[in-house]
Amino acid sequence: MKKLFAVLMLMALFVAPMSMAATTETETVQEESQGLMLNGFWDNWYISLDGGISLFFSPEDGDLSNFTNRIAPNVALNFGKWWTPIFGTRIGLDYMGANGATSSVDAFGYQDGASYNNLFIQKHQGLRPHIDGMVDLVNLFGGYSKTRVYSLVIYGGFGYGYGWGSDFAAGKWGTEIRGGLINSFHVSDAVDVNIELKASQYDSGLSQETGDCLNNFMASAAVGIAYKFNQRGWEAPVIPVVVPVVPKYSDAEGDALVARLQEANNRIKDLESELAATNQRMAKAIDEACKDQAPAFTIYYDINQSSINACNKKVVKAMADAIKADPNTKYVVTGYADKETGTDAFNAKLREARAQSLYKALVKYGVNPDQLSTATDTKPLNKFNYVLDRAATIKAVR
The pLDDT value recorded for residue 341 is 86
Which of 238 and 361 is assigned the larger pLDDT?
361
- pLDDT > 70? residue 241: no
Is residue 67 scored above 80 in pLDDT? no
Pick the CATH number of 45-228 from 3.40.190.10, 3.30.1490.20, 2.40.160.20, 2.40.50.140: 2.40.160.20
For 225-252, give one letter per residue: b (16+ CB within 10 A) or e: ebebeeebebeeeeeeeeeeeeeeeeee
Q: Is the pLDDT of residue 20 over 50?
A: no
Q: Is the CATH code 3.10.180.10 the one for domain 297-396?
A: no
More confident residue, 249 or 225: 225
Instruction: Answer yes or no: are the C-beta atoms of 193 and 219 closer than 8 Å.
Output: no
C-beta of residue 144 within 8 angstroms of C-beta of residue 85: yes
Identify the bridge partners of residue 332 per DSSP, sorted by sequence position.
373, 395
Query: Is the predicted pLDDT of residue 249 greater than 80, yes or no?
Result: no
Least confident of 50-54, 204-208, 228-232, 276-280: 204-208
User: For the chain, how many residues are written?
Assistant: 398
Q: Considering the chain, what percentage of its residues have pLDDT values greater than 70?
A: 75
The per-residue pLDDT for 294 is: 44
Give the chain's radius of gyration (CA, Å): 48
- Taking residues 326-344, what's their average pLDDT? 90
| Confidence (pTM) | 0.51
Mean per-residue pLDDT over the chain, rounded: 81
Closest to 35 (Cα-Cα) out of 232, 231, 186, 234 = 234
pLDDT 10s digits, 160-178: 988 887 778 878 888 899 9
Mean pLDDT throughout 315-340? 91
The sign of the CA dihedral 153, 157, 159, 164 is: positive
pLDDT (0 to 100) of residue 146 = 84
Residues 206-226: pLDDT tens digits? 555 554 444 678 899 999 999
Query: Hey, which of 36-50, 93-107, 121-135, 148-162 has the most confident mean pLDDT?
Result: 148-162
Residue 248 has phi, psi (to 5 degrees) of -85, -30
pLDDT band at 51 (very low <50, low <70, confident <90, very high): very high
pLDDT tens per residue, range 281-311: 876 765 565 555 444 688 999 888 989 988 8
Mean pLDDT, residues 108-112 taken together = 65
Inform me whether the pLDDT recorded for 363 exceeds 90. Answer: yes
